[in-house]
Amino acid sequence: MNPYHQDNFEEAFEHLRLATSLLGKHNVAPSPINYRVGYDYVAGKNQELNAALDKLVGQSEELTAEQLWILYQQFFSQDAITLEKIRQELHHIIISVQGAVERSSGNLSVYTHTLNRFAQILDPSTPLNAVASEVQKVLDDTRSMEQNQQRVESEISLVLAEVESLRKDLEKIKEESMMDALTGIPNRKAFDAALEQAVISAREQKSPLCILMIDIDFFKKFNDTYGHLVGDKVLRYVGAALKRCLKGRDMAARFGGEEFTVILPQTSLIGAGVIAEQIRNAISMGSIKSKSNGRYYDKVTVSIGVAQFRDNELPNDLLQRADKVLYIAKENGRNRVEKAL
């Protein structure tokens, strides 16, 4: 059901204005997800949503895109809603096809009976006027059968179009469920699935595999000093740097909070260390500038732990070894790379 179908034009326009104003006040981009949360909030469509958002505003003067994404997942459950809609539409499609086939089968049975009768009267003893009458009936039933067949084909074509549309919807849901909304890179769910597959491939092919665990240094300081909006900028900055530094089958993901991960298939510990240094340098050499006053924020640096997959090792064991050397890097002064032996 469309959540906005009850709004008339004036109400919808006013809600649009208020939702846009709300997002602008907190310097949050009016993306479809953010807008959906903002719209329902100002329209008062979900009291639980309003209470949760009011609580966030009460705890902090600023809202972030990540907070809105969490609210969206909590109150809209888009995956479940869309999947249920697809199930209902598929059920409707199946019933439509069954009806079309049954109608076609019924018409075919009548048409077969007509042909059988026609075959029986094709006898020299049958009067000519009777043959002429049956010929006309065969012609009429043949035209009717052709029209029915065209209708069935048309219905099946519509069904195929609907199924293709549903397939695209499912692909979109799958992609969105695997992406981190704030940074635009894969999320923890996608990382877990990719790491499991990478481990399987490394075992089967007996090829090297490394992972990087990356943590933003003093991230809490950015949030406490400049606010969560700047903290979000830092996260997006690191995510963009990771995408620039990686290529091929390498994969970066947001692990959670200020932690990121990288999967490096067919990469030795030495090669992974080189890539880790490239990432560390790319992040520390860059800068983030304030749009409001043109000043640069504090330099962003990261600490990185590198670990290579061992035979018969579980994915979690590999993660733990990388995480362990990550904290050694932090203890040794941060803005550095440490490798697990």
CA dist., res. 169 & res. 87, Å (int):
12
- At residue 39, what are phi and psi to the nearest 5 degrees? -65, -50
Write down the catalytic residue from 62, 66, 155, 258: 258
Torsion of CA 83, 66, 304, 274, to 10 degrees: 70
Catalytic status, residue 258: yes
Taking alpha carbons only, the member of 226, 241, 228, 230 closest to residue 184 is 241
* Side-chain half-sphere exposure of 155, counting CA atoms within 13 A: 19
* Side-chain half-sphere exposure of 228, counting CA atoms within 13 A: 17
Which tokens belong to 293? 């006053």
The residues that are catalytic are 258
